[in-house]
């Protein structure tokens, strides 16, 4: 019985031996990471054999990628807007304190006298009865200011302008501007709508084509006023009137 058992077991052993008699060769990759790469490829097979890094779903969607691309132009625009601003243009409005008004006058000058306070940038026309009409004026810039007493020797409407030769030369050398030898009266003329000539000097009380300069020291010695103000003064003043410049 035992021998029969042995004889029956032998064929079974022989069959197993035949099955594993020639074992498949074992191939060892020189790169020990190869099996892991193959394993990753087998897992990524449904996606075409390409191994992707895990990314947030928001970045994988085309819409999210489009939004991320739009960020750069927006930032560039902000940089452009941060450029230095240009300097604002000078204001062309007159301070209210240089607009005409009637004020109290306590001096001893007779009615019709003109008093110009160059520090205050004001011209006073004495009315009498303790009052004066006050106007804002532009005065001579540094080096051209003056003081004294003169008389109105002539009056002119829309006067011509003939700048003196010394003034033409000075402006050309210092400012690079070429002044005309003569300019007919009109809205573009620097003397404006009216002029009151002072004695035998080259100075005048006159209007201007730059009203925003009233209240400033900008002239070559003349007293400038707004056209509407010098027109009002022109109607009040007579030839021979005294003018005091302080």
User: Domain holding 189: CATH number?
Assistant: 2.40.440.10
Pairing of strands 148-157, 122-128: unpaired
pLDDT tens, position by position, 66-120? 444 454 444 544 444 455 565 555 567 888 999 999 999 999 999 999 999 999 9
Predicted local confidence at residue 121, as pLDDT: 97
Predicted local confidence at residue 86, as pLDDT: 56
Predicted local confidence at residue 27, as pLDDT: 53
74, 122, 182, 206: which one is catalytic? 206
Tell whether 39 is covered by a domain.
Answer: no
Is 144 a catalytic site residue?
Answer: no
The CA distance from 172 to 176, in Å, is 4
Range of the domain at 209: 96-245
Tell whether 79 is covered by a domain.
Answer: no
Predicted local confidence at residue 133, as pLDDT: 98
How many structural domains is the chain composed of?
Answer: 1
Q: Does 175 score more than 60 pLDDT?
A: yes
Is 222 a catalytic site residue?
Answer: yes
Tell whether 58 is covered by a domain.
Answer: no
Residue with tokens 């009151």: 196
Tell whether 176 is covered by a domain.
Answer: yes
pLDDT tens, position by position, 220-245? 899 999 999 999 999 999 999 999 99
Tell whether 83 is covered by a domain.
Answer: no
Tell whether 127 is covered by a domain.
Answer: yes
- Tell me the pLDDT of the chain averaged across its residues: 76
Give the predicted TM-score (pTM) of the model. Answer: 0.61
CB 207 within 8 A of CB 195: yes
Tell whether 9 is covered by a domain.
Answer: no
The CA distance from 9 to 66, in Å, is 73
Tell whether 17 is covered by a domain.
Answer: no
């Amino acid at each position: 019985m035992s021998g029969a058992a042995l004889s029956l077991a032998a064929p079974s052993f022989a069959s197993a031996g035949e099955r594993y008699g020639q074992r498949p060769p074992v191939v060892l990759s020189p790169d020990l990471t190869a099996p892991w790469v193959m394993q990753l490829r087998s897992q990524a097979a449904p996606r075409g054999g390409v191994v992707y890094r895990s990314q947030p779903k928001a970045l994988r969607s085309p819409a999210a990628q489009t939004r991320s691309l739009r960020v750069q132009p927006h930032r560039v625009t902000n940089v452009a807007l941060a450029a230095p601003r240009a300097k604002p243009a000078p204001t062309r409005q007159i301070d209210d304190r240089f607009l005409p008004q009637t004020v109290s006058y306590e001096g001893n000058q007779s009615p019709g006298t003109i008093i110009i306070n160059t520090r205050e940038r004001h011209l006073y026309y004495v009315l009498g009865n303790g009052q004066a009409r006050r106007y804002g004026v532009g005065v001579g810039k540094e080096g051209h200011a003056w003081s004294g007493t003169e008389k109105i020797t002539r009056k002119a409407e829309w006067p011509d302008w003939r700048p003196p030769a010394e003034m033409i030369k000075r402006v050309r050398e210092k400012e690079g501007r070429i002044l005309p030898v003569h300019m007919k009266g009109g809205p573009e003329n620097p003397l404006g709508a009216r002029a009151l000539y002072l004695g035998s000097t080259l100075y005048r009380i006159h209007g201007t084509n730059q009203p925003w300069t009233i209240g400033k020291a900008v002239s070559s010695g003349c007293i400038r006023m707004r056209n509407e103000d010098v027109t009002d003064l022109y109607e009040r003043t007579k030839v021979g009137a005294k003018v005091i410049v302080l």
